[in-house]
């Protein structure tokens, strides 16, 4: 009996030891899996981040990601428009595969997204800010998202429990919601995925009071190509409707008061009032600053010519656009400081990016959509102290297509085999030799639509860019990116580039095959517009 008891004691001791080891190793594993903080703004041009260029604005908080981590100088999107970009990020698949080709069609929620996979693998998941899908995101324990584009002042949010309207300024509020979740609802026993998604600096560019007071006093350098006439490019550039002089709307974009528009007999106006969500107090503050600007404009307008009006609109545009970015930068600082204070930074991968790039007067434009440089490229800064060395600049060609596989690999999850990106982990670890990509693919669909940018697809290498505008026209363009950084000259027909055209066309065929895109798929997507009556048969 004694011996039996002794055995029992040893056995139970071993069991306790075994169980405690097991739970310890689970605990260890949990603390080791990194947190992921994905920060994305809407329409944030890399030209407006001082880590890329300090000509326009200082963004010390966003820049911290570069000084403490990695700055990607060759990050691009696969389709330069909001909701499609977000669908590519979440699914790791090109638009023609995930089906979200434009801002208009709903996102197909049968797609598997990386947050769903992280959630299933034990990550706590939350999303705050702008999604723009027309339906709620799957795979999130909690979300508070802006309906559609959302409002800058006193915004409403969709939540799983219904709608809620919060008084204040959108960028501050999205951050409050995010910090509140981290403080109150984060489960310390789980790693987390946090998607912190700003509405700013999207049109119609309404800064917070503290920033419009500052930014309306500033003047900005003119881009060299502000007065571009598009003669050395094709029809698509000439017919696009995103020129600051011709298509930026004085009352809506430049904040000229309706009574001034009437008095000056300006015909082109938007009926929608961008300030309509402001409270009387907020509106009074606004008027106290924009009133004198309007008085000035009323005096100047009768003597303005095209060129002085262009410059006036450009300055007004940048004052407001950059003013909204000042709030984004401040708030990114709040979040980074919180992670530091709670000692979460070391084991947290923090990404800062935008859903696409944006024109800040280059080629006379605002908006995006084209595969040309400013809208094709997007900012990308990544910090992860446990893995990434400080102050690294990375010039490999990466895309928003790569995020899903990156985050899955970081979390130790094998990505589904039909995802189309590449994990960025080797680059983050400094193992450049493992990165083999030489070209990236692009396809834009939303036409006919606002800004009138024609459908096109193309391929970019570090040296050249080949674009095919295939609907409405049948035009090819080739740019020599090294020698023509501003993409002013289409050299497709230049005999000196015959061999380059041949080589790029060959690569384009290969890449379309690899990603399973084709003319017949493009035609199917045109057919959808026909069925909706957006394109006449």
Residues that bind ligand SGN (CB under 6 A): 42-43, 81-82, 103, 132, 149, 202-204, 367, 450-451
Q: 456-460 and 192-197 as β-strands: parallel, antiparallel, unpaired?
A: unpaired
Compute the distance between CA of residue 42 and CA of residue 207 in angstroms, rounded to an integer. Answer: 14
Task: Kindly give, in sequence order, each residue whose CB lies less than 8 Å from that of residue 421, ignoring residues fewer than 6 positions away.
Answer: 92, 399, 401, 402, 403, 404, 405, 406
Cross-strand pairs, 465: 460, 479
Chosen from Ca ion, ligand SGN, none, partner binding at 450 (C-beta under 5 to 8 Å by type): ligand SGN
By beta-carbon proximity to ligand SGN, the closer residue of 373 and 422 is 373
Q: Does residue 71 touch Ca ion according to CB under 5 A?
A: no
Query: Nearest distance from residue 500's CB to ligand SGN, in Å?
Result: 32
CB of 43 to ligand SGN, least distance (A): 5
Burial of residue 200, with CB atoms counted within 10 A of its CB: 0-12 exposed, 13-18 middle, 19 or more buried: buried
Q: Is the peptide bond before 230 cis (omega within 30 degrees of 0)?
A: no
Binder of Ca ion out of 63, 68, 141, 355 (CB under 5 A) = 355
**Residue 446 interacting with Ca ion (CB under 5 A):** no
Q: How far is the CB of 101 from ligand SGN (least distance, A)?
A: 12
Per the CB < 8 A criterion, the answer to whether 243 and 364 are in contact is yes
Cis peptide bond prior to 56, omega within 30° of 0: no
Q: Give every CB contact of residue 2 below 8 A, 6+ residues apart in sequence.
A: none
204 binds, among ligand SGN, Ca ion, none (CB under 5 to 8 A by kind): ligand SGN
Choose from ligand SGN, Ca ion, none: what does 103 bind? Cβ within 5-8 Å by kind.
Answer: ligand SGN
**How many CA atoms are closer than 13 Å to the CA of 376, on its beta-carbon side?**
24
Residue number closest to Ca ion, CB atom: 82
DSSP class of 494: -
CA–CA distance, 483 with 287 (Å, rounded to integer)? 47
Nearer to ligand SGN, 42 or 422 (CB): 42
Residues 6+ apart with CB under 8 A from 459: 439, 440, 441, 442, 465, 466, 504, 507, 508, 511
Nearer to ligand SGN among residue 189 and residue 450 (C-beta) = 450
**Is residue 200 a contact residue for Ca ion (CB under 5 A)?**
no
User: Which of Ca ion, ligand SGN, none lies near 294, with the C-beta cut-off 5 to 8 A by kind?
Assistant: none
Out of 42, 367, 373, 480, which residue is the one contacting Ca ion (CB under 5 A)? 42
Q: Any contact of residue 367 with Ca ion (CB under 5 A)?
A: no
CB under 5 A: which stretch of 39-47, 215-223, 298-306, 388-396 binds Ca ion? 39-47
Among 33, 39, 43, 220, binds Ca ion (CB under 5 A): 43
User: Closest CB to ligand SGN belongs to which residue?
Assistant: 82
Total number of residues that touch Ca ion (CB under 5 A): 4
Q: In the complex, what is the shortest distance from the CB of residue 83 to ligand SGN, in angstroms, rounded to a whole number? A: 7
| DSSP per-residue letters across 204-253 | T----HHHHHHHTT---PPPTTTT---TTS-HHHHH-S-BHHHHS-TTTT
Q: Of the candidates 460, 470, 406, which has an alpha carbon nearest to the alpha carbon of residue 437?
A: 460
Distance in Å, CB of 445 to Ca ion, minimum: 15
Q: Is 486 helix (H, G, I), strand (E, B) or coil?
A: coil
Distance, CA of 291 to CA of 344 (rounded, Å): 46
| Stretch in the footprint of Ca ion (CB under 5 A) among 62-70, 96-104, 229-237, 352-360 | 352-360
Work out how close the CB of 32 gets to ligand SGN at its nearest, in angstroms, rounded to a whole number: 37
Q: Which helix (H) or strand (E) holds 36?
A: strand 35-41
- Taking the least distance from each CB to ligand SGN, the nearer of 367 and 480 is 367
CB of 86 to ligand SGN, least distance (A): 9
End-to-end CA distance of the chain: 93
Cβ proximity to ligand SGN, 152 vs 169, nearer residue: 152
Minimum CB separation of residue 95 from Ca ion in Å reads 14
The span of 16-24, 78-86, 232-240, 243-251 binding Ca ion (CB under 5 A) equals 78-86
Of the two residues 132 and 255, which places its CB atom closer to ligand SGN in the complex?
Answer: 132
Instruction: State in angstroms the smallest separation of the CB of 356 from Ca ion.
Output: 6
Query: What are the residues whose beta carbons fall under 8 Å from the beta carbon of 363, sequence distance 6 or more?
Result: 225, 228, 230, 237, 372, 374
Where along the sequence are the contacts to Ca ion (CB under 5 A)?
A: 42-43, 82, 355
């Amino acid at each position: 009996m004694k011996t039996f008891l002794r055995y029992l004691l040893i056995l139970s001791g071993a069991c306790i030891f075994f169980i405690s080891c097991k739970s310890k190793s689970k605990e260890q594993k949990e603390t080791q899996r990194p947190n992921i903080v994905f920060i994305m703004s809407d329409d944030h041009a890399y030209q407006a981040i001082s880590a890329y260029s300090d000509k326009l604005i200082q963004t010390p908080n966003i820049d911290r990601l570069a000084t403490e981590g990695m700055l990607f100088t060759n990050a691009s999107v696969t389709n330069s428009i909001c909701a499609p970009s977000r669908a590519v990020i979440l699914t790791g698949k090109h638009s023609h595969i995930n089906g979200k080709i434009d801002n208009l069609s709903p996102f197909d929620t049968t797609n598997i997204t990386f947050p769903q996979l992280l959630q299933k693998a034990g990550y706590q998941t939350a999303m705050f800010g702008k999604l723009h899908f027309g339906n709620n995101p799957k795979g999130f324990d909690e979300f508070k998202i802006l309906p559609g584009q959302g409002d800058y002042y006193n915004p409403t949010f969709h939540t799983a429990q219904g709608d809620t309207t919060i008084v204040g300024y959108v960028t501050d509020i999205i951050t409050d919601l995010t910090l509140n979740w981290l403080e109150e609802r984060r489960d310390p026993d789980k790693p987390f995925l946090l998607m912190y998604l700003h509405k700013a600096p999207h049109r119609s560019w309404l800064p917070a009071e503290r920033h419009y007071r500052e930014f309306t006093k500033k003047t900005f350098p003119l881009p060299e190509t502000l007065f571009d006439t598009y003669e050395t490019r094709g029809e698509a550039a000439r017919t696009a409707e995103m020129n600051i002089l011709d298509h930026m709307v004085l009352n809506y974009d430049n904040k000229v008061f309706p009574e001034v528009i009437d008095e000056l007999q300006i015909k082109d106006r938007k009926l929608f009032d961008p300030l309509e969500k402001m409270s009387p107090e907020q509106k009074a503050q606004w008027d106290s600053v924009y009133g004198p600007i309007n008085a000035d404009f009323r005096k100047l307008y009768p003597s303005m010519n095209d060129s002085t009006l262009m410059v006036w609109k450009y300055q007004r545009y940048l004052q407001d656009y950059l003013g909204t970015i000042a709030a984004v930068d401040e708030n990114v600082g709040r979040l980074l400081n919180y992670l530091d204070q709670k000692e979460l930074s070391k084991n947290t991968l923090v990404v800062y990016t935008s859903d696409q790039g944006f024109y800040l007067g280059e080629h006379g434009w605002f908006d995006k959509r084209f595969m040309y440089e400013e809208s094709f490229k997007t900012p990308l800064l990544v910090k992860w102290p446990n893995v990434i060395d400080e102050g690294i600049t990375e010039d490999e060609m990466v895309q928003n297509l790569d995020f899903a596989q990156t985050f899955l690999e970081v979390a130790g999850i094998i990505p589904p085999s039909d995802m189309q990106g590449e994990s960025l982990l080797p680059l983050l670890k400094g193992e450049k030799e493992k990165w083999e990509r030489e070209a990236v693919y692009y396809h834009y669909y939303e036409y006919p639509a606002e800004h009138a940018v024609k459908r096109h697809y193309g391929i970019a290498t570090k040296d050249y860019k080949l674009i095919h505008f295939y609907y409405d026209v049948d035009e090819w363009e080739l740019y020599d990116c090294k020698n023509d950084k501003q993409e002013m000259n289409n050299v497709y027909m230049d005999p000196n580039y015959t061999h380059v055209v041949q080589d790029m066309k060959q690569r384009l065929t290969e890449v379309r095959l690899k990603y399973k895109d084709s003319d017949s798929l493009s035609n199917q997507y045109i057919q959808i517009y026909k069925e909706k009556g957006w394109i006449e048969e």
